[in-house]
Structure formats: C-alpha cells, structure tokens
Structure 1
C-alpha cells in the first residue's frame, strides 16, 4: 500500500523454533496439564467448577445437563474443545478415581471396570456440598484475584479459595511437555491433622508429619506393601509405591476353597480388570498352575468381587502369591508430586505441599477478614449516623422540610450549610450548622424510613451496633494476632473434617515379596510328534512303541525327549523358537494335536521350519548351518540354551535364507549340492566354528542365478547315493575338493 513500508525482520531460524517451542511447552505445563499447588486443580477443572458456581448449579438445586455446563465453560473460559471439559467433569464425579468427588453426577458416569460415561447430552450434574462450601464458599469476599478470560469478555478466578489440601486429598495425574505429574490421593482427616501439626510447629520433619499421614489412601482400597520406602518418597516427592489387591480365602462345599478379590490396586481401574482376568486364564492355559478351575467377575455397585474357584487340595496362599507375581494384582504406582508453585513447575515433598497450602490459607484468611472488617466498619459508620440522627430527629425533619432539594439537605447534614434552607428559628439554624455527618451517614439518613423511629426499632439498632462493634473487635484480633488466625484456620478445617472425613480404605504395611513355589514336575520320557502340517503332540513312550510304524510314516519329526525339556524349532529366517515340552498337548496317539503357531512366536505364514530337535539332543553337539547363498558355519549347541521363547539362531545377509541345520556328530566330510546340479565335496574341518551371531564363511562359489539346495554328510568308507533329477549320484565317488571352490556339475 502507498504510504506504508514493509519491514522485514531477519533472525536465526533455530532461535525462533526454540522460543516458539518453549512458549508452547510452558503453555501446556502451566495452562493445561499441571495442577496448582494451592487448590490442587488443573485449569479445566477450576474453570468447570467455577462455571457451575456461576450457573447456580448448587448441591441443593436440581441437576443440570452436562452439555449445558460443558458448552458454557468452553464458551466463557476454556476454548480447548468439549471432550477435555467433559472428561474432567466425569472424573471429578467418579468416586472410584477421586478420594473426595467434587461433582455430583446423575446418570451413567462410567464404571470401575472401564465402561465409558454416557454422552454429555444424557448425563446431568451439580456441585457436591463440600465443593460449594470448601472450594467456592468465599469467592464473594475478594479472597482471590480475578483475571480476564481468553477474549477478555469475562473474569475468572486465578485460583479457587480451597480450604483443604486438595492436591493431596484428591491427587492428580497429567502429562505435560517433558514432564508429568502423578500424585496419589490421601485421607482427608489425616492430611488435615498433618496441616495442623505443621501450623503448630513449622520446623516439623517429614518423618514426624508421617505420624499423621500414614501414606496414600486410594478410593479402591488395596494394600501398600512397601511402608519403609514411603518416607523417602514423601521426602523427595517421587518414587514407586507397591500396591496389592485384597484377597480373601473362602471355604466351599466339598472341602474346596476359593480366592475372592474384594479390593483391587488403584492402577487396575478400567480395562486392566479385564486384562487381569485374561492373565489368570493364561496362567491356566500355559500350565503355570493346574489348581484353578474357574474365574468369574461378580463385581457390582456394592463393590469388587472377583472369584477364583480352586481344585480340592489346592494351596490357596501359594496361588495368591502366584497372582501377585504374574498378574497386575500387585502393581506399582509411580509417584511424582509435580505441581505449579509460584508460577513454575516444581516437584515437592509432603512438607513442601503442606507449607504452600498453609501460606495460601493465611493469604485467604487475611483477605477474607480484611473484606469482612471493611464491611463492618462501613456498617458501624452508618449505624452511628442513624443513632446520632435519632437524637436530633426533629432538627433533621426541619432541615428536610425547609430544603428545596436533596442536594441542599445533604450539604447541610454533611457540612452544616444552612443558607439555602428555611428554618423556623435561629436556634434550629445554629444547631444545623454544627452537624457533621459523613457522606455515607447522610445518605443513610435521607433513605431512612419513618418506622425506624419506633422505640423497638431504635433498640434493635442499638443492639445491632453493639454486635457490629464485637465483630470488628474479633476481626481486628484475627488480623493482628497470627495465633488467633491460625486457630480460625484450624477450626474451619476441623469443621470440614467432622462433616466430610471418611475412614481410611488402604492398608499400609511391609510385606515380603510374593514367592510362588511351583510344584515339582514328575520327570518322564515322552515322544514328540510333528506332522507335515505343523500339528504337534507328545505321547507316552509305550504308546509310540505300539504304533511305531504308523507314527514314523505319518510324522515329519519323531523325537524322544523328557517332559522337562524344550523343543528347538529353527526357521528359514534364521530364528530359533523354543517351546517347552510341558506346553505341548499330551494325549493319545490318534489325537490331532495343536498347531505349532499356537505354542510359541513361530508364524507359519512368514517363516518355514528348517529343523526341529530337542534341546537336550543338541546341547554339547556341533551344529552345521548352511544358507541359500552358500554360507556355512559350525555352532556349539549349548549357545541355544536360552530363557527367551525366540532368539536369533544365526545372522543372515540380505535376501539370504537358512536352508539346513544338522548335527555334525562323527561326520568327517560334507557335500554341497546347488539347484543347477553343482556338487562340491570337502572335509568338514574346513568349516570353522563360529558364534550364533556370525554370518559364517562361504562354502561354494555359486554360478550366477544359482543357489545352495542340499547339504549331505559323508562317513569314511560309507557309500551314499542321492538322486539329482533323473540321475543317481554316488557322493563318495566325487572328487574331494576344497571349500569355497566351484565344484563339479553333473551332466544329465
């Protein structure tokens, strides 16, 4: 445009990126994800509660649709989408997530088993009584600062005037940028007692505070089992709490017993209950235990009840330890008590959080009683004016009758200006000139109704004035004497505790690590069978001997092994899958068996089996590996004795595949055969022994487009005849060559 000049600012791109990212990160940290240490609320929670307060959705009024609350909050205070607002509203209403729910929900607000809440158009809500009294009660007394909302059309509180240490009572969880917060909930009564102890002795230690706060108190109950580690966690503000569910043993008819889980770890809330049921089922499937007959979830609104039926004679306590060891019935809760303090994120211990809370309470109480004192002083001023006016009421009436307007009458009452007013006598005029009412008193006199001159009304005024003077004295004492203010704060907290505190639900103790004693398996020899379709089973040795001919004919692999052994499955991808023999179905000879895919990580659609044997048979032996590209190596079999279910058996070059794995045994020579009919015979000792992670050495120089197809072992002085296409080849008559040469081609 004419008359304007474009201004180009040159700057380093990395600096702009750094500044922008830091601004974004701080916005998420301060304005979205982390709670304020003073009220323990995130901005979305604070705004939702304040909006409900503004809409008048009080505990003693009808419920209102959640959609109305969400829409109003989003439009006025929190323009970040309706889902985040509704989710925070739902969580504040769930008694299994919050130790002290702040919202009274009506309708489907989800369940402890992970069912989601109904849509906001169906559910209704209102404030809980404690929220109204302890979180929002003093907002009209100028106790907190108000700031403009996102578009400066409304005012919202910077922090709510919360009277209890909400950060500790309800806990908080949130993920920011580069940091996260995870504060467990605590018992209201215990936390308030700790706050009072700190107020009496500000130099109190964390250890002494923990005489009042035993530890976290989760709404789901459960047992904290690392009591000795809690002191360090509460001193630093971070650590790991070990949680267990509560398990009871109930007798059943017939001499049986069952395990009943009546409380779950806080971390199991939601979908993890279903995962726990699956984990128990898997323990039975994988034969970790044979003592569980059935599992059922009988939980209801009355509470958690998960029933595990046991076999007769089962060791219930040993199975309880198995559940602690192998499922989420014992879990860890990561503590990181991070909150915004003085405008910046800070990880705080128990004492630091209580200190910030107490400082906030002194600030709230000071501002509250300063506001109340100011109102009482104004009331005192007016009352004194009215009392004084009653004594000269005849003169005041004469002033009012002689005035032409309110302005003249008011000037006379305040400054004694008598000129514009007609008086009946000079005495009255002189008396009027001596009047010195304040502006506020004069206004009250002018607005006073005649019935206030009745004797009883004047008596009531005198009584009210006396009460006002008493309150002024009380308020001044609270503001001037810290000890009195401390007593007032403590009395207010005691009143909240007496009405809203509940007994502790979570038990705190030191427990030994769960130890599960597996029953010793009776060792016996079995026969492993695998047919050409990949179905496997194990049968008794005597059964195999009776059906040996059929078993050998129908199966690709027939291996004698012990039931305590493992089966090694080598595939063309260079991987080894280890399957416990105990996990393989044991039964009759004519049983179909189970696909190998179902027993391990082996995937028949992506890899092909090259070799199968029992681990005991290959341990201590030398295994010869051969690949499609002609790479060879020998590996000690003991390298494949691993605890993992799948390991890398060999390293392969790009596009290469494993084609053969064989036990070398007493063999002295090998013959390599390619797809195009090239044979190479050489001494086995030329193939070096390598580790399983090595590629190996080249066994034969392949022609272009050719690849290795077979590996044969030769014994000294033994005739070995193989067929290549239509021609028979006597391997022991082939010329002995050297490894990594071209070999000789068989002419058809």
Structure 2
C-alpha cells in the first residue's frame, strides 16, 4: 500500500504541492518567530565597531606607561574585607597608576606633552592576562619620539558631551579649557589639542563640568585655586591663558580638579617629606595671581614633586629617582595646616630623591 501511495504522489504534481504546503504549515506553527533582522534599502558604511560586541572592560595603565584590558566579569564581586585578586604582577619598578571601567566602544583621549591629542579605542587596547603588564602605550600611538614626545595624560570618554570641557595645564603656568565636543572627530595621526610655546609642555589634562575649582601646585611650594569659570572655552589651536604667575625658576608640577570639599591635598617633596591638608584651607582666588603657600620648601624637605587629591581610604606610591617604590596608606599621614613643612614620610638614601607620587588604583591584591 505504501509503495502504491508513493507512486501516486510521484505521478501527481498536485499531491506533491499539497504535501509540501501541509508540512510547511506545520513548520510555521512550531517555529515561527518575529523577524530578528532589519531590512534596509541603502545600508551605511559598516564601521569596525559594528562588528565588535559592546562589553565592559577594566583598563589598567601602569606608572611606566603599560596598558591592557580585561573583561569586567574577570573581577568577580567579593564581600567586604576580601583579599581581592591581583591585577598586575608586582614588579619593583612598576604598579597600576590608573584603572578605568569602559566599554569596548569608548575612547581614550591621550594628550602628549607637546600639545597633541591621540585617540585610542578601548577595543584597540590589547587584552592580556591579569598578571601581564600589557603593551607600552607609546607603541599604540603615532607619537614623535625624535621630538621627545610622550603621553602626559590619559582621559576616558564615553560620549563627547557639549557641556563638558577638557582642562589642560602646562609647566609654565598656562591653563586652557576646550569643549570636549571639539575632540570628537578622530584622526589617525592625531590633532592639535593646544599650541604649546617653546620651552613649555603639557603636564596634565582632565575633564570638567564647568563648575569645578582648579588647583595648580608648583615646585617651589606655591599654589593657586581658582574657579574654572575664570577660564573661557577656547578653540583647539589656542595657547591658553595664565593660570598662575610663577617666580623665577619655579614650575607647575600638578593640576587638580576640585569638586569635593571634604577631600584633602597630598603634597610630597623630593627629600621624602609630605603632608595632607584640607581643601578648604586653600581659599579661592582669581586666575593668574601668584597664589599662596602650599608647603614650605626648605633645604631639609626639598622641592615639591607632586600634589594629588586623596581621601583617607587611598594608598599612594612614592617613586624614587633610583627606581625604588614605597607604598603608604594615606590614613597614616595626619592632616596639618597649609603653611607648614610637612612630616617625614620615608627616609631617603644618600644620593636618592623622590621623583613622583601617584595614587594607587588597585588596593586589594594577593
């Protein structure tokens, strides 16, 4: 009977079509779902980002300029008091100085000391193991090494909002504010972020909301705090305006954006001295003045090497010219007044000096 039925089907196109129609109906009833794709008549040019899954990444930048990324999921949630996981192998000469959580579609704005800006997409940063240092940032950007160009500041950006700004400062006391939106069109070879005069260089850059206060600290222990509103927004190629009037031989060593009044400023000198002072101790002044004393620099304490904004839970790294690195807790340094010499943080070996101070980005490591 089956053979007879099959022969009838093969001999009749109408029966074949009837069976096909019936089976397709059953498939439709069981598997039919709304269309998941969108049909468009004239598709735009496909960007590389369209082919990359958007995923949150933990990006770490070491003090020596090595950068890497890892999926945020790698850093699993832990209860308070846990030991954490190691994010970088602990080499004597390096440590994690900055840590950012950013999407694979986000940008990193890399400002050079010569006033140029380079873009780096998060997905372009090499993914490496937790214990690896990653890749040297200078090898990912077309910087001019012959001109002694290096990256002075790295700023993460998700969107280029028109009401946000980039504030830059130079070692000779010039400050410049430019709309973040002006940096929204990447070029492979970079663009001019600021015109830097001969003998000067960019030392810092940060994103601001137009409402913060700007603090500049100098090598000879002076400082100034002024409202960000004192600096009008300028175009990319502008040189900027005077932020502080420097004494002969003095240089700006730090720029801090102040938005929280309860934080403290941590100042470190080359001979191992330092102090914490409440932000409120620094009165707001007009831009361009000589400022006030931040720390009394003497032959004993030496010149200032850095000023950073900290709270009691932070840890900082003190970097010596010989390459030695010392890690201390901020809570171990008591808060004292502004016009003081500070206290001894560490004992410096003969012939050595502190070269820099940096806030530790990762605190819990095993």
Give the secondary structure class of the aligned counterpart of 1:551: coil
CA gap 1:558/1:733 in 2 versus in 1, 3 angstroms: same
CA gap 1:721/1:564 in 2 versus in 1, 3 angstroms: closer
Q: Tell whether the 8 Å contact from 1:680 to 1:737 is kept in structure 2 after alignment.
A: yes
Q: Tell whether the 8 Å contact from 1:557 to 1:612 is kept in structure 2 after alignment.
A: no
* TM-score of the aligned structures, taking structure 1 as reference length: 0.29
Give the secondary structure class of the aligned counterpart of 1:642: coil
Equivalent residue number for residue 705 of structure 1: 249
Deviation at 1:592, TM superposition (A): 4.1
Residue number among 128, 145, 157 corresponding to 1:615 in the alignment? 157
CA gap 1:677/1:549 in 2 versus in 1, 3 angstroms: farther
The structure with the largest alpha-carbon Rg is 1
Answer yes or no: is 1:644 the counterpart of 2:187.
Answer: yes
Residue number among 272, 289, 303 corresponding to 1:741 in the alignment? 289
CA gap 1:592/1:636 in 2 versus in 1, 3 angstroms: same
Deviation at 1:719, TM superposition (A): 4.4
Q: Tell whether the 8 Å contact from 1:700 to 1:742 is kept in structure 2 after alignment.
A: yes
Equivalent residue number for residue 87 of structure 2: 551
Query: Deviation per CA, 1:170-220, whole angstroms, max 9, x where unpaired?
Result: xxxxxxxxxxxxxxxxxxxxxxxxxxxxxxxxxxxxxxxxxxxxxxxxxxx
Which one has a larger percent strand, Structure 1 or Structure 2? 2
Residue number among 522, 538, 550 corresponding to 2:69 in the alignment? 538
Query: Deviation per CA, 1:675-727, whole angstroms, max 9, x where unpaired?
Result: 11112222221121111211111011111111111122333642423225335
Give, in whole Å, the separation in 1 of the partners of 2:240 and 2:84: 39
Residue number among 135, 141, 145 corresponding to 1:594 in the alignment? 135
Give, in whole Å, the separation in 1 of the partners of 2:58 and 2:114: 27
Q: Tell whether the 8 Å contact from 1:633 to 1:689 is kept in structure 2 after alignment.
A: yes
Q: Tell whether the 8 Å contact from 1:633 to 1:697 is kept in structure 2 after alignment.
A: yes
Deviation at 1:667, TM superposition (A): 5.0
Q: Tell whether the 8 Å contact from 1:714 to 1:732 is kept in structure 2 after alignment.
A: no
Answer yes or no: is 1:678 the counterpart of 2:226.
Answer: no
Give, in whole Å, the separation in 1 of the partners of 2:107 and 2:217: 32
Equivalent residue number for residue 563 of structure 1: 104
Q: Tell whether the 8 Å contact from 2:160 to 2:184 is kept in structure 1 after alignment.
A: no
CA gap 1:600/1:619 in 2 versus in 1, 3 angstroms: farther
Q: Tell whether the 8 Å contact from 2:104 to 2:122 is kept in structure 1 after alignment.
A: yes
Give the secondary structure class of the aligned counterpart of 1:550: coil
**Which has the bigger relative contact order, CA under 8 A and spacing at least 6?**
2
CA gap 1:545/1:558 in 2 versus in 1, 3 angstroms: farther
CA gap 1:549/1:637 in 2 versus in 1, 3 angstroms: farther
Query: Deviation per CA, 1:15-43, whole angstroms, max 9, x where unpaired?
Result: xxxxxxxxxxxxxxxxxxxxxxxxxxxxx
Give, in whole Å, the separation in 2 of the partners of 1:653 and 1:662: 20
Give, in whole Å, the separation in 2 of the partners of 1:616 and 1:580: 10
Query: Deviation per CA, 1:21-66, whole angstroms, max 9, x where unpaired?
Result: xxxxxxxxxxxxxxxxxxxxxxxxxxxxxxxxxxxxxxxxxxxxxx
CA gap 1:736/1:596 in 2 versus in 1, 3 angstroms: closer
Query: Deviation per CA, 1:725-748, whole angstroms, max 9, x where unpaired?
Result: 335344321333221111123434
* TM-score of the aligned structures, taking structure 2 as reference length: 0.57
Give, in whole Å, the separation in 2 of the partners of 1:517 and 1:713: 35
CA gap 1:549/1:687 in 2 versus in 1, 3 angstroms: farther
Deviation at 1:636, TM superposition (A): 1.3
Give the secondary structure class of the aligned counterpart of 1:737: coil
RMSD: 2.8
Give, in whole Å, the separation in 1 of the partners of 2:183 and 2:47: 27
Give the secondary structure class of the aligned counterpart of 2:257: strand
Give, in whole Å, the separation in 1 of the partners of 2:73 and 2:181: 30
Which one has a larger percent helix, Structure 1 or Structure 2? 1
Give the secondary structure class of the aligned counterpart of 2:138: helix
* Number of equivalences: 234
CA gap 1:532/1:517 in 2 versus in 1, 3 angstroms: closer
Deviation at 1:565, TM superposition (A): 2.7
CA gap 1:582/1:715 in 2 versus in 1, 3 angstroms: closer
Deviation at 1:517, TM superposition (A): 8.4
After TM superposition, list the pairs within 5 Å mapping 1:50-129 onto structure 2.
Answer: none
Deviation at 1:673, TM superposition (A): 1.3
Q: Tell whether the 8 Å contact from 1:667 to 1:714 is kept in structure 2 after alignment.
A: no
Residue number among 46, 54, 71 corresponding to 1:523 in the alignment? 54
CA gap 1:589/1:677 in 2 versus in 1, 3 angstroms: same
Deviation at 1:561, TM superposition (A): 1.6
CA gap 1:719/1:699 in 2 versus in 1, 3 angstroms: same
CA gap 1:711/1:618 in 2 versus in 1, 3 angstroms: farther
Equivalent residue number for residue 384 of structure 1: none
CA gap 1:701/1:516 in 2 versus in 1, 3 angstroms: closer
Gaps of 5+ in 2: 1-44, 78-82, 297-340, 342-366
Give, in whole Å, the separation in 2 of the partners of 1:607 and 1:659: 12
Answer yes or no: is 1:688 the counterpart of 2:232.
Answer: yes
CA gap 1:718/1:665 in 2 versus in 1, 3 angstroms: farther
Give, in whole Å, the separation in 1 of the partners of 2:54 and 2:240: 38
